[in-house]
A and B are shown apart, each in its own frame.
Chain A
Amino acid sequence: MKETKKTYWKGLEQLSNDPEFVKNADREFPELPSMISEDGNASRRDFLKMMGFSLAAASLAACEAPVRKAIPYVNKPVDINPSIPNYYASTFASGGDYASIVVKTREGRPIKIDGNKLSPINNGKVNAIVEASVLSLYDKERLTGPYLAGEKTDWASLDAEVKSKVAAAGNIKIVSNTVLSPSTLKALNLFSESIGGAEVIMYDPLSNYGIAKASESMYGQAVVPSYSFDKAKTIVSFGADFLGTWISPIEFAGQYAKTRKISKERPEMSRHYQFESNLSLTGANADYRSPIKASQSGLAVLALYNMLARKAGAATVSAPAVEVANLEKAANDLWASRGASLVVSGSNDPNVQTVIHAINELLGNNGATVDFSTPVNFRKGDDAKMNQFITDLNAGRVGAVIFHNCNPVYDHPRGAELAEGISKARFSLATNMTMDETASLVGALAPDHHFLEAWNDFEPKPGHYSLSQPTISPLFDTRQAQESLLVWAGETTNYYDFLRNNWETGLYTQVATLDSFQTFWDKSLYNGVLALEREGIPFAPIGDVTEAATAVARTYSADNSGAELIVYPKVAIGNGTFANNPWLQETPDPITKATWDNYLTVSQKWASDNGVTMIEENTRKASVTINGKKITVPILIQPGQAEGTFGLAVGYGRTKAGRVANGVGVNAYELLDASAGFVNFDITSGVTVEVTGDSYKIARTQTHQTFMARENVIQEATLSEYKQDASAGRYKPEIYKEGEFIKPSKISLWKGHQYSQHHWGLAIDMNSCIGCSACSVACQVENNVAVVGKEEVLNRREMAWIRIDRYYSSDAAADDLSGLEKASENPEVTFQPMMCQQCNNAPCETVCPVAATTHSSEGLNQMTYNRCIGTRYCANNCPYKVRRFNWFKYHDNTQFAGVNVAQNDDLGKMVLNPDVTVRVRGVMEKCSMCVQRIQAGKLEAKREKRKVKDGDINVACATACPTDALVFGDMNDPESRVSKLLKIEENSTSALKEVNEERAYHVLEEINVSPNVWYFTKIRNKDKNEA
């Protein structure tokens, strides 16, 4: 081929050999920066870099990054630091219940309620209801604004309507539960005056009117006295559940526990007699408990009076004879400890309470354990006035009625009548927070703030004051009820100024202080409480017991053969106001361990006579007819129930409480009788109970009732045995090895951990644990524990990290295994809080295939949710069965939206503790010993460049416990309370601590899993070991 000489030019630049062109001649895209460095050496590397970058960039671009919005404060509020909690002192008061509290807020959201340690009344302690009340703030079913005639309106129109209608209506009644707040009372008065006089009627669903009425006849003043259980050596209670629900249970539980704490240095405890029909929480803690019929209780009280009168040489009263076990013994003990004893009764019958007053008078307890000079203001409701009001309302004599945060249509025995009567009033209004049974019937609704959004003051006892302050801006267009009253009264000041003003002109003038009012106010607000020295009101008996005794002898009988129904409140649900709170619904009743229901408690004998058996959760229904009213309720067989009596709890059968509580159980208030001038909770005549064919399932968290005589679980002794030998009742297993018997802890496959810094431990005193469940609700709030609902509790899948095991004693011999499964007719009861035991030789840790549960350097057994794959082997291998599995996705799941509100709707989620992960489906969880609190405490100490002090860190359960039964601390610190309680030998960093306290034991010591939780033997103040 002929070689061509032709040349083609790329352009004129090439032809002219332009220098710029020559430079870039070998580059295809000269306008792009060169990949080849100037010296040309690193080209391969550069290429790879570029490759790598492009690959990374391409793959990054392919991943869609989630959009997370973190919006900074434009102006940061002074007190609010992200992730740092703030605490505000405040007050819980509802339906006559009271607690001074400290509210923990995070980023402006209240998330946890603890007791206020400065309060002399509840001493930093709370109960289940107070703990759980924070969730009701975030209830999306709260009223979001005012209503008129069922239509949403604005506050201006509502105010105009009220101002124009109320005064014109004439005969105005304001109905409320006990109002503890002096400023509220003042606002009520102002309003009343502005409209030419309105009557304020106070009633309480759980009425203590009988005591006040008795005080009136005995001492001339209708008051409920203060009680000091801590000063009592002998306590006798006739059906008063003072540890669970009676008057001021948090206060009483704290006092009671002081008399039950026992040590070698102080081997004394009070002796507690309980005479009751239902097995109450208090009865479960009694040393001697006698089941009696409600119809006998009056006579038993009279008999006790007569026994004591004989000893005192006073006149006896005539009373029919009644056979009551242990009554004589109680009388002897009372007399022996007169002046330091206490007799109380839960009856609402004024005559019975008069005799009780007289008994305490005989024993010289007035002024010692019973204090009329400092009466309590909690439950001042007047049943007679309320009765009259309902009659008037129905007769059309009431012009206007205002319901101030109360729900009598539901919780008054004559609620149905009231419901009909409301329309007869020309004007009706309610300040209730939700569209409940009463609010749904009134013409106007002026919804109040939640108490965590509002200002207020309280006077629980004369001289004791406390404040509540808002911890969050109002979530909805609600208005504080007191402010509404002021507006309607034509006042122009807001309630905060009004309240401050009251304090400035009132309390401030009564305190001897050099502070300015501002300082005084700030201090009071900071402390939350204020105690003033008050002269006691002198009290002297003016009345006589004879008249009351005659009435009692007439109304009670020793041999009632008919069925009796005793209506009682449950510890967690109380009077039913907070029934819509799922935390409370799922808290098992301390005695029956049932959740999500009320039921008829029947005696074992009645059950066997009527062929009712309860296998696991399966039971049958009974139809109960009371003077023509008929209800159908499931049966629950209750050991300790007095024969011939039945129990039924109030607080259920709500129809308009909200999606959680509606339709749960039946309403027992309807069955009560208020015709005798007081609400009588004991129905002793006209009751028939029949078993129906319907079967039913009651969701109980514990279905086996006895501890099968297992000494490795429950160790107990009587006081006299303890006095002789501090280790009485202890079960000390020994293992045979090479010719000798040694403690199980001496043999181990494990090398043993060393904890050079902290060694966290928990000591639990079974003698002071009363079983009230405040701990388990506190844990639920603190640790975002899911609520699973009735169906899943029936499937035995409740998530509680701490449970309280309740065991009944059995009459059977220790080797009669089937006999041991049956509880005694009137059993001894033992409560045992059970949570992760944080074992040093943890069986769960070795079996996890992915090491999701591991041991910390401070003795904790840690659970890593992220790593968990959910084989459940750890839970199977846990001898204490405290591990809980997420069987379903409990959060953001419509299936659980109706019960697990704190993890499903946007509002409810505001209550979650941001320091604790909400667990996903398929992972295991369990008590972490509040590791988030431990971490926070350690960080705080580190920031302050010091060591962690005892008391810096406390777990949620121990913080809530009203009886201080749980003590948490560092077992490496010889000065910590827990070390001292356990008498730990000093200077040991070993996991295996030498504990010298004789009462302390490990549950299941023989398997040597070496827990960091210690239990103290249960000591009963009994003469001899008897059931």
Chain B
Amino acid sequence: MQVTSSVREPLVTGGKSYHDVTHDVSRQVEGKPSLSWFLAFLTAAGVLGLGSIALIATLWEGIGMWGLNKTIGWAWDITNFVWWVGIGHAGTLISAVLLLFRQKWRTSINRAAEAMTIFAVICAAMFPVIHMGRPWLGAYWALPLPNTFGSLWVNFNSPLLWDVFAISTYFSVSLVFWYIGLIPDFATIRDRATGLRKTIYGALSFGWDGAAKTWMRYESVSLILAGLATPLVLSVHTIVSFDFATSVIPGWHTTIFPPYFVAGAIFSGFAMVLTLMIITRKVFKLEDYITMGHIELMNIVIIITGSIVGIAYITEFFIAWYSGVAAEQYAFINRATGPYWWAYWSMMTCNVISPQLFWFKKIRTSIVATFILSLVVNIGMWFERFVIIVTSLHRDYLPSSWAMFYPTWADIGVYLFTFGLFFTLFFLFAKFFPVINMAEVKSVLKSSSEKAAK
């Protein structure tokens, strides 16, 4: 039973009817691409093209194109990997966890958030492959495939192998979940379309007939997938954090990493969702669906996860001191005061201090402030991974091997490549797929729109 409360803020504003919802969302798909879309898409594709020069150079010449060295074996590659995986967390969290908790406000943002998840995971998954010395072999040797190499098998002790499973599971479940959610909306578009478009969207909608039984199955599948996806939200970044936590390197060997990484991932994921949503609602004029209420709620999630991350940073320091392990203590003092102090303090400022500004209602309900802070948070989260990876490695146990890391043009280029890829895919999605889950929004319309309630 839906209960309409006059006290509660409506989830969809503007007094939209069911038809309005369909129309507002579908017209983006059906209309001609706007000039602004074209410009944005071409920019993204251009960045993709530029970045691919760096990517090809790396694949052709070798990993030596990057700034890595004998002491620092991972830097931007794994930083970018963890960063993109982190960003890919919000989508599933919003659609699965919030679905289970019956948070209705999720309906208008889950589609785009999930799409973002999938594209971010694609960008992330690229790094473990291209960072290999021999990706042409590693791309399939890292999988437990039966082979003719003798009794060769993968090493199940290795956290990198767990990563392979974690990322691929997360990606497939997210993809299936996202696609299932798209089916009723594809059917809506199919029903409105003619000609070739009808055929394509017809194929995409898998013969959706809108029958009560179909809807029932749809809801069951959504619930089952949400149930499956929820542990994944926690497991993916937990396993990514094992790459570091199970090692012996001071600054990596830390038991706090799993919850700390998960909180950080949700933190950065929400920030990225905000960044994209603020642009999307503006460009596609969806202010009535993605309301200030949504933005504020997401900002609250950012305060919470940001604070968790902040506490984790402080706890790390405390434990380094409390453990009495000299190498650990040095690693943390070096983070704050060593040659990479600027990275550490960028991270602290962006991740711990800046989200606290959202305690002010004025700031968390300001579009501009939210947009800026969402960018700041993602910069901070990139630095967090850089700090963990590079500053821990650059000065570990034997001072004779201490070194610095300087990125090369190829490091930057490959990072740009992933940006290009992400935004190219996102703009394609925004144009050709319904960016808001029409079916689910309609289900909350009754409780939030007077017109629909009639």
Contact = CB atoms under 8 A, between A and B. Distances in A.
Interface of B is mostly: loop
Given A876-B73, A922-B62, A869 B142 contact: yes
A889 B62 CA distance: 8
B158 A848 contact: yes
A708 interface: yes
Interface string B236-256: 000000010011110000000
Interface string B112-147: 000000000000000010011111011001100000
A870 B152 contact: no
Contacts of A708: 330, 399
Given A847-B160, A849-B158, A805 B70 contact: no
A1003 B398 CA distance: 9
Interface stretch (B167-175, B206-214, B273-281, B401-409): B401-409
Nearest to A818: B337
B74 A876 contact: yes
Nearest to A713: B398
B400 A702 contact: yes
Interface stretch (A39-47, A570-578, A620-628, A790-798): A790-798
A840 to B, nearest CB: 14
Given A885-B70, A921-B133, A923-B134, A797 B161 contact: no
B64 A888 contact: yes
Given A869-B134, A871-B138, A843 B398 contact: no
Contact of B400 (A704, A795, A922): A704
Nearest to B158: A849
B404 A616 contact: yes
B63 A843 contact: no
B272 interface: no
B147 to A, nearest CB: 11
B396 A881 contact: yes
B73 A885 contact: yes
Contacts of B334: 817
A702 B401 CA distance: 6
Contact of A888 (B62, B141, B248, B330): B62
B188 to A, nearest CB: 44
Nearest to B401: A881
Contacts of B401: 702, 881
A704 B152 CA distance: 41
Given A847-B159, A889-B62, A884 B333 contact: no
A798 B138 CA distance: 24
Contact of B141 (A797, A869, A875, A1007): A869
Interface string A103-130: 0000000000000000000000000000
Given A710-B326, A807-B400, A876 B134 contact: no
Of the candidates B67, B68, B131, B153, the one having the most CB atoms from chain A within 10 angstroms of its own CB is B68
Q: Give the bracket for the number of chain A residues in contact with chain B.
A: 35 or more
Nearest to A847: B158
Contacts of B333: 817
B183 to A, nearest CB: 36
B71 interface: yes
A710 B399 contact: yes
Given A849-B154, A876-B73, A703 B403 contact: yes
B396 A879 contact: yes
Interface residues of B, number: 54
Nearest to A843: B248
Nearest to A895: B61
Contacts of A707: 399-400
B354 interface: no
Contacts of A875: 70, 73
Contacts of B69: 795-797
Interface string B147-165: 0000011110111110010
B334 to A, nearest CB: 8
A875 to B, nearest CB: 4
Contacts of A846: 155, 157-158, 246
A881 B133 contact: no
Interface in B389-442: 393, 395-404
Interface in A770-799: 792, 795-798
A876 B398 contact: no
Contacts of B164: 849
A703 to B, nearest CB: 7
A881 B158 contact: no
A422 interface: no
B248 A1007 contact: yes
A923 B134 CA distance: 7
B133 A872 contact: yes
B388 to A, nearest CB: 12
A877 interface: yes
A886 B400 contact: no
Nearest to A705: B399
A883 B393 CA distance: 14
A1009 interface: yes
Contacts of A920: 134
Given A888-B62, A922-B132, 4 more contacts: A797-B64, A807-B400, A849-B155, A873-B158
CB-based closest 7 A-B pairs: A870-B133, A922-B133, A869-B138, A887-B64, A872-B73, A796-B69, A805-B400
14 contacts: A704-B402, A708-B330, A713-B397, A798-B70, A832-B400, A850-B155, A869-B135, A869-B142, A871-B160, A872-B63, A872-B73, A881-B70, A883-B70, A887-B62
Interface of B: 61-64, 67-71, 73-74, 128, 131-135, 137-138, 141-142, 152-155, 157-161, 164, 243, 246-249, 325-327, 330, 333-334, 337, 393, 395-404
Interface of A: 616, 702-704, 706-708, 710, 712-713, 792, 795-798, 803, 805-807, 817-818, 832, 834, 843, 846-851, 867-873, 875-877, 879-881, 883-889, 920-924, 1003-1004, 1006-1007, 1009
